[in-house]
């Protein structure tokens, strides 16, 4: 028996998260160590480690899900556009980073992360959720 990944525990609610969006197959929530306000992770509910091991069907549906979330992030956070990154070096459960960016440096993962308060996280997540409902 394999242990549920930290992201599966987030999806099931066992570990709290600042949820942004959810569908039958995907879950989006704010990264706890954000590179920028609105930095969001999109995860398939299916627990697969490596992004490129996801099925073509899941990958294409995940892209469309990411697009909808990114369009909502753009409206809530001031940025030039939303950058996309796939790393998976830390958490072995496939996920996409959606990061509001203005310059190349905004996608530098080695930079110190932002420290946000609980209420800042809550407000950002709520505002993105509201945009998605429009
Ligand atoms: P990576 O696997 O390299 O793509 O990085 C995993 C990302 O997940 C990092 O940016 C972490 O800050 C983020 N992360 C890890 N645990 C949590 C958590 N409990 N809630 C939100 N984000 C998390």
| Residue 39 designated active-site | no
All structural domains of the chain: 6-133 (3.30.428.10)
What is the distance between the alpha carbons of residues 33 and 31, in angstroms, rounded to a whole number? 5
Q: Candidates 91, 93, 115: which one to mutate for ligand 1, based on the most atoms within 8 Å of Cβ?
A: 91
Q: Are 87 and 80 in contact (CB under 8 A)?
A: no
Q: What is the pTM of this model?
A: 0.97
The string of pLDDT tens digits covering residues 79-93 is 999 999 999 999 999
What is the distance between the alpha carbons of residues 50 and 59, in angstroms, rounded to a whole number? 12
4 falls in which pLDDT band (50, 70, 90)? confident
Q: Are 22 and 10 in contact (CB under 8 A)?
A: no
Closest CA to 47 of 12, 23, 13: 12
Element (H, E) at 92: none
The string of pLDDT tens digits covering residues 54-81 is 999 999 999 999 999 999 999 999 999 9
């Amino acid at each position: 028996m394999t242990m549920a990944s930290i992201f599966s525990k987030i999806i099931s609610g066992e570990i709290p998260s600042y949820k942004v969006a959810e569908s039958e197959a995907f879950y989006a929530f704010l990264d706890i160590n954000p590179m920028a306000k609105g930095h969001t992770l999109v995860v398939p509910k299916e627990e697969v480690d490596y992004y490129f091991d996801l099925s073509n069907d899941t990958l294409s549906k995940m892209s469309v899900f990411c697009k909808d979330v990114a369009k909502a992030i753009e409206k809530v956070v001031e940025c030039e556009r939303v950058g996309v990154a796939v790393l998976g070096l830390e958490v072995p459960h496939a996920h996409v980073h959606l990061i509001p960016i203005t310059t190349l440096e905004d996608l530098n993962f080695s930079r110190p992360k932002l420290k946000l308060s609980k209420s800042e996280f809550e407000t950002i997540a709520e505002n993105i959720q509201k945009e998605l409902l429009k």
